[in-house]
Amino acid sequence: MLRDILEDARDSLVIEIDRILIDDPEANLSREAEDLVHQIADDSVPIYYVDIVECARNDINLATTVPELGPAFNNESTACNIIAANIYEELVSHLHGVLDECIDKQEEKLNE
């Protein structure tokens, strides 16, 4: 389940980056896409408990790691809020990797 969430988020980010580059092929993606990374990550975190728990069943680290940002949603330290925060952090990390790949591709095109 988490793998699907990460892939869907990746696809969303790539689509948005493509839109940015259509408008401005020399856009500074590091600056322009940073908010997108967090927006897409936030939108991609499951909101239903069953989905959140399913992610933790597939990756126990989501349930056993203390999130850097603290618990998600209403900041209460419930199991699901902690897992959701870890999903968010995993998404942000993944999307930053995707953003770095897009920046590298953009630089290659600009240097051709």
Tokens of 85: 């925060």
What single-letter amino acid sits at 86? N
pLDDT tens string, the chain, 112 residues long: the values are 999 999 999 999 999 999 998 888 888 888 888 899 999 999 999 999 999 999 999 999 999 998 887 766 677 778 899 999 999 999 999 999 999 999 888 888 877 7
- CA-nearest of 17, 41, 26 to 100 is 17
Tell me what pLDDT residue 108 has.
82
Distances (CA, A) of 16 to 11, 23, 69, 86, 99: 9, 11, 25, 24, 11
For residue 27, what are its two tokens?
């856009």
Residue 41: CB atoms within 10 A of its CB come to: 24
Model's pTM, two decimal places?
A: 0.88
Q: What does the pLDDT read at residue 72?
A: 67
